[in-house]
Structure 1
Amino acid sequence: MPPRPRPRPKILIVLHQETSSPGRVGHMLLEEGFD
């Protein structure tokens, strides 16, 4: 039986303003495989 692929780790980013976005850090985390 082949090994199952590991699920992508999840991360929570807390923003301080409703109109904020995760920006550069969020893009970096997505590139590193976080969901």
Structure 2
Amino acid sequence: MAQALTIEELLLLPATVDLPNGGQGVRHRPD
């Protein structure tokens, strides 16, 4: 899929992003 998600969507749906870290990548700040 093309990553056409906004920052808000990435913050709300971090698990939907295909990342090797399991969702918490560089785009999503860790807790």
Q: TM-score range by the shorter chain?
A: under 0.3
Higher relative contact order (CA 8 A, sep 6+): 1
TM-score after normalising by structure 2: 0.21
TM-score after normalising by structure 1: 0.22
